[in-house]
Amino acid sequence: MSLFSRREVLAGGLAFSASSLLARGAWARTAALLNAEAGAVGSAAQLGAVAPREQLLLDSGWKFTLGHGTDPAKDLGFGNGQGDFAKTADFGFAKVKYDDAKWRTLNLPHDWAVELPFVHDDEQQSHGYKPLGRRYPETSVGWYRREFEVSASDAGRRVVVEFDGAFRSVLVFVNGCFIGRNDNGYAPFRFDLTDFLHYGAKNAIVLRVDAAFGDGWFYEGAGLYRHVWLTKTDAVHLGRWESYVRAAVKGNAAALSLGTVVENQGKDAANARVTWKIVDAKGAAVATAESGAQAIAADGSATFTAEAKIANPALWNVEEPNLYSAIVTVESGGKAVDAERIEFGVRTVEFTADKGFFLNGKSLKIQGTCNHQDHAGVGAALPDRLQWFRLAVLKEMGGNAVRTSHNMPTPEWVDACDRMGMMMMCETRQMSSGPEGLAQLEAMIKRYRNSPSIILWSVGNEEWRLQSGEDADIGAKIGASMVRLCHELDPTRVVSAAVNGDNKQGVSDAFDVIGFNYNLKYPDDYHKVNPTRPIYGSETSSAIGTRGEYASDKLRNTVNSYDGVVPWGETAEEWWKFYGTREWIAGGFAWTGFDYRGEPTPYGWPSINSQFGIVDMCGYPKDNFYYYKAWWGLASGQGSSLHLFPHWNWHGREGDEIPVWVYSNADEVELFVNGKSLGSQKVPHLGHVEWKVRYEPGAIEARASKNGKVVLTERRETTGEAAAIRLTADRTEIDADGEDVAVLKVEALDAQGRLVPTDSTRIDFKVTGAGALIGVGNGDPNCQESDKASKRSLFHGLAQVIVQSTKEPGTITVEAVHQGRSLKPSTLTITTKKVDLRPSVV
């Protein structure tokens, strides 16, 4: 991942930046490497008693209470309308002695919106019917409070609090003083606290977070839903997100252009030099570089650059996401005063107008999905591990790219893409060349420009008025300014946006690559007129379906799993037959990988989330998943694939005609009903086969053949009623770090151990030991049960439980029972192992 998702490890007296690794084995290897590197830079004795840089996680031990959007008496007395900010240090709620005993204790990340009840208010439809906004003042404001110690030895250092993101309007107070504000839901922000702290004593930080206004038209959560950090540096230190590594492959070597900015926030001028050490994944040094010393005035900064070369580099690609690290060190006054570790990859990316997309010189179709950032059970506040879980689901179906719809992503999503080999279209929230829009764009590019997974920047989504019509001239100027800034900050990547129009004018004029949202009538004509401009599908499909449902029913708000699609969209087969067969198109991004809260298409209440996903809110595959697995998976080298649907539990419909479909990449498929063949069909390229079958209990079976030989068989059997519960976990051993999670699948089985695909039993959960339940879900777009309860109804036989470890090693025991009828209960034990904890504020 990039340095901008950095996490700190204290190594031999010198704190270096290290990426947010979720697999602790990788974290341990990074720590070992940094310890070794510390010896090369300087010992603790040489560096002095105080480490030049620390970055400490500030996630645990917060206090929280709801405030009020209109009544000061219910909002800590804040907002009386006169003198609210008259005095800098007059905020008693931000003093150490303030009584917060009645506040709730919690850890970050936290989303209070997912905890709220659902309200039948069509104005709240897009946000998942949660009571947020100016009409819901009692649930739209939240207060966070934390006390922390600052060592006396930190005097003379710069101390900064950094937020990876918060939703949405934040006021920050420290030790009774108003510090500043932030007013967007996705961009990171920070405040220098140096002058406001008590050294050698306890301090207090308080945040008022107002979620009444939204950035998007989808569920966005509320509160401190991303990580918070406390960073301590020397007065002479590396600038925030200023270090970059630009790798250019030249023959059997990679030429590296290195750069950074050193800031001097001290009282006196200082001389400084910068060195770079490049190491491979095993920690072996493969290149070094240095930049000559420069004088930096007090409150000034200086830019340092250098060049280096890696011989025979291991390239980053979607199969082998090889990464390198650059350890950037600042020396001043004869010692190392700051250092950080940034990770990067060596690869080439090219969008062409006639042959499509190339990664490392090899043709590759972009097989992508658009995704929002929420998940069942936790809302927008995803533990880091869930990012990896979600990407693994998308990779299983052959996906090789994601689009961060429609906002700057969380660092851990980018990190996971870098490490798992998933390409990314990285998108900013606001298409604007105004100060706020450009500031958000600059933050995104600087933070993530070292990330090898990112293949293009997106400056916005579906800005109708800026794309055509009377405001197209404004759009052209805005687009040009944003593209210019992208190229200035990162000359190695192309720039685009998601445009739901013909791309003939407006913002599209300046784009390097042209993206089309839907409208399959446009790309061919555009290519004929503009044969030198590369094209891809920036947002496609919008197929819809309800997992486990095989008939569309407006009274039940369900959509069939065969060919559901919105009026402006295309089925999976329609869009991929178009984009997958035109050599000159780079590929595209389907809307969406996962279902998401809000925008409950195609129905309104009581639906509380969309049905666009290829998988549901929990990540359980819908049948469409297997279309992609057949054809994307084949292109990704996954081999033969076969999926037969629907289920075969149709009690009461004996003799009715049931559509039976098969997704496969085999040559042909033969279907059997209770042992009798209904014939064989050849599988059309990028298509499917289907039969009309009169229902009779028993089994249907599909046999897929290649070159005349059966290679795969799949059955759907008529099951009995649910008799038992089964619990399984994605991992039965997790880290005892207070952060790691296990994702549990809950299933209803019949007496023969078969999943009952129609069961909706409510299951109760009990979690004991070294962990806690943090969320539940079932993938039902119409389910209004609480995501935070210790119970959940199954949806078509499935539910999901997410449990999180404590910091104490031991075991977590999860029990699943049904109180209402005699289902055999299930118990699962998860081991939590001792690991090195991320450095944190105590």
Residues with catalytic annotation? 462, 539
Buried residues in 57-85 as b, exposed as e (16+ CB within 10 A): bbbbebbbebbbbeeeeebbebbeeeeee
Between CA 98 and CA 145 the distance in angstroms is 10
User: Using an 8 Å Cβ cutoff, are 113 and 221 in contact?
Assistant: yes
Q: Which two tokens stand for residue 566?
A: 């919105």
- C-alpha count within 13 angstroms, C-beta hemisphere, residue 266: 19
User: Using an 8 Å Cβ cutoff, are 566 and 615 in contact?
Assistant: no
Instruction: State how beta strands 423-427 and 401-404 pair.
Output: parallel
Q: Which two tokens stand for residue 609?
A: 């989330």
User: Using an 8 Å Cβ cutoff, are 640 and 704 in contact?
Assistant: yes
Instruction: List, in sequence order, every residue forming a beta bridge with 535; answer none if it has no partner.
Output: 514, 585
- Order of strands across the sheet that contains 201-210: 104-106, 62-66, 141-150, 201-210, 169-174, 177-183
By three-state DSSP, how is residue 457 classified?
A: strand
Q: Which amino acid is at 650?
A: W
Chain centroid to CA 642: how far? Answer: 29
Q: How distant, in Å, are the alpha carbons of 194, 264, 335, 567, 817 from that of 233? A: 10, 11, 14, 55, 52
Residue from 454, 452, 425, 420 nearest 319 by CA: 420
Burial of 86 (0-12, 13-18, 19+ CB in 10 A): exposed
Residue from 446, 456, 402, 406 nearest 429 by CA: 406
State residue 334 phi and psi, 5-degree precision: 80, 10
State residue 643 phi and psi, 5-degree precision: -140, 125
Between CA 185 and CA 188 the distance in angstroms is 9
Q: Which long-range contacts (CB under 8 A, 24 or more apart) does 238-241 make?
A: 238/262, 238/263, 238/328, 238/330, 238/338, 238/339, 238/340, 239/263, 239/301, 240/190, 241/3, 241/4, 241/443, 241/446, 241/447
Residue from 163, 54, 165, 147 nearest 105 by CA: 147
| DSSP string for residues in 443-456 | HHHHHHTT-TTEEE
